[in-house]
Chains A and B, each alone.
Chain A
Amino acid sequence: MPRAKLYLVRRDLEAFTGPVTAAELSKLIERMAVGLRDEVTGHCGPWIFLDDRDKLKKFYSELLPIVQAASVSGWSTDANEFRNEPTVKGPIILAKKKPDRRLILAAAFFGLAVFAAMVAWMFAGSGELSSRIIGSQIPPASELTALLQTGGEKEFVAVIQPQLPRIIDRVNRNHDFMAAWLPFLRAYAFFGPGEIDGFSSKKLRGESGVAAPADCSVKAWTKRWHDALPSFNSVALGGALPSDHWARLLAWDPHWINRRSQSGWIRPRNFYQGCVMAAVRAFDSIPGGFPADGVRARLAVLSAALENPGKAQEDGSTGKANGSTKATAFGLWTCMDLARSRTELDQCLEAPWQNLMQSDYNREKFYWSMLRLAVKARSTGDQSSWPLLRNDLQAFISGRDQSDSYTRMDYSDELHFVGAIKGVLPAVMDTTPPPSGPVKSFNEDIQIDLAH
């Protein structure tokens, strides 16, 4: 007896349903256990999205009537559309028994809608029920973008909150909706606990925050800070750096972060900034005193530099004030991050941080700061700073890695931009094509913002 042809269904590259026969697949779609944005494969065949009519016709044409029927019933497509066909036409084999049932459902739904509208009208004066019904509409993206860009965080959260379960449900079923809504979900998460129930933390994070901890929720940071309390003193006074996320975050270079990809983010502007926001919020539960105040000051500087990059550049002279009353490594890192010139950077080598420069890592951070100034000099055509910076960097870079040994931030793009330290400073921006070399991993989607 010939075997029935089987199909396997996949959702988000994570979970499989089946293998099942075509008839079983039809029932799964009917029961809403499978959606048209899921993928299907058959024996030795490719994976095809169920709403990709052309490919489905080519590889699994026997499934086409099933998904057409599902599409007409309105389940699992957001605009009643196939991926590559605006409207569904043609014979619908499995829909023969459906019209009566659908008519009954439609009539019942219509009746309910009329009833709801009447109740809403009756309660309109109190403003309670009517606002609920209005709130069931998901607001347009343009409105949300405007709220984020004008600093309307509270309004943004208030608009999203009542719709969240509905939005999560849709993004989890619909790839296009996911792409459109990811920036808003990220904003919503990091204005709050840094995570969203029912939504993948992997998707929230994206692919580009490679040097950041995987879990940047407020909950994770609260635990990290409390566990770290006994180590604050040693790190502050220049002791050995622990291999912990909290200390790495404090050493982060805000300028490096601001130069990284912001694709898929609005506010925060990338995962690193979101991570700092969550870390700052979690630090509120830490009591004051030395050296916690130094950590708090360092977090404030990072936060401000990421929120307003331009202002961080103007604040070079405040580096020392931003440390704490005692000389700490955190204050030294801030001094280096805020230095606007080689002269200001040199001042970080003097008191009160002089002794802390014995640490290998602090010396290394000094040079990464110098690289930042070199990038700036290269992009602005600053003929006076460039030769000095180039010579110092050349001595530092030769024979060492192109990444920060502690924070794991990869500076290879910056090094390439400044001409791998060998080039001369041109009067205009460098437009040299990158040298040929091994294929770069797309895990690190780095772009240098030369205007910054």
Chain B
Amino acid sequence: MQIRMAGVTHIGRRRKNNQDSLFFDEGHGIGVVADGIGGRKGGEIASTLVVDGIRQAFLASEVIRHEEVTPFLASAVDTVNANVFGFGRNNPEYAGLGSTMDCILFSGDMVYVAHVGDSRTYLYDDGQLFQLTLDHNVENFVDRGLVHRDSLQDPRIRGAALVKAVGLTARCELDICRIKRRPGQIYLSCSDGLTSMLDDREVAALLATHGGNLQKSASALLDAANDAGGRDNITVLLARVEGR
């Protein structure tokens, strides 16, 4: 089975710079979306460090066997986290920088998704859309009993506040999930600049309309998010499993 990929990143309509970063390699079946946080410059640096770090780790690795994917992703994110965290420590003007990260990796007949933060990865299969990742924010963590409900009483903490991000602390806990791939499936990874502007049904409708052409689908999603206001940077990565 072959993998086709397409991706776009855009500053949006309100922001003065693009703190999102994107990398994908169709030949190797890997793609990364990162959304930087922590000041104008800091966010940009953080997301670039994340995307470059994952890319370098992947290119430097030998062939990754099925059972090695999870340790590889965990180790790559550990290294990237140390780099971003160290950068913040060594450059006080960028203190507090960090980044979300969604990395999608095809290996054998499985698809692996490594996820930190509130960027998202979806599966579009047979005309239906499923969110694969859990947003790492206070609201979800309270809902799942991972953070005490009293946290929401604190006016400084909003439900959408991030609980996890790459580079915020010395160690970064990430979610790694796996799913069996099937011909015709489309995987969508995106920053919250897309999902804060379009609801899931709008995303599904656009994929249904343009699904045959990945590049057109990515552009259509980006344009729709900008048409809806484009309040944040927008990054879209699409990967389709060919063979049907």
Contact = CB atoms under 8 A, between A and B. Distances in A.
Given A3-B126, A41-B130, A442 B201 contact: no
Contacts, number: 91
Given A210-B169, A211-B171, A441-B168, A15 B177 contact: yes
A207 B164 CA distance: 11
B169 A441 contact: yes
B55 interface: no
B131 interface: yes
Contacts of B96: 438
B127 interface: yes
Nearest to A10: B177
A147 interface: no
Nearest to A176: B145
B104 interface: no
Nearest to B172: A443
Contacts of B129: 43-44
B164 A13 contact: no
B171 A6 contact: no
A426 B26 CA distance: 64
B128 interface: yes
B233 to A, nearest CB: 21
A19 B168 contact: no
A179 B146 CA distance: 11
Query: In the complex, which range does the number of interface residues on chain A fall in?
Result: 20 to 34
Contacts of A41: 130-131
B164 A14 contact: no
A16 to B, nearest CB: 4
A30 B46 CA distance: 47
23 contacts: A3-B128, A5-B128, A6-B126, A8-B123, A14-B175, A14-B178, A16-B177, A19-B128, A42-B130, A44-B128, A44-B204, A47-B131, A179-B145, A207-B146, A210-B171, A214-B74, A214-B171, A403-B170, A439-B156, A441-B164, A441-B165, A442-B151, A442-B163
Contacts of A47: 131, 134
Contacts of B74: 214
Contacts of A438: 96
Contacts of A210: 169-171
Interface in B123-170: 123, 125-132, 134, 138, 141, 145-147, 151, 156-158, 161-165, 168-170
A317 B98 CA distance: 45
A78 to B, nearest CB: 17
Nearest to B140: A47
B156 A19 contact: no
A43 B171 contact: no
B40 to A, nearest CB: 16
A289 interface: no
Interface in B208-222: none
B69 interface: no
Interface in A192-226: 202, 207, 210-211, 214
Given A19-B130, A437-B156, A439-B161, A43 B175 contact: no
A241 B162 CA distance: 34
Contact of B126 (A14, A19, A44, A207): A19
B125 A13 contact: no
Given A43-B128, A211-B171, A403-B170, 13 more contacts: A5-B128, A8-B123, A15-B178, A16-B178, A19-B130, A42-B130, A47-B134, A403-B89, A410-B170, A439-B161, A441-B164, A442-B141, A443-B169
Contacts of B134: 13, 47
Contacts of A442: 138, 141, 146-147, 151, 163
A42 B128 CA distance: 8
B227 interface: no
B200 interface: yes
A401 interface: yes
A171 to B, nearest CB: 15
A217 to B, nearest CB: 14
Interface in A1-48: 3, 5-6, 8, 10, 13-16, 19, 41-44, 47
B132 A443 contact: no
A286 B84 CA distance: 36
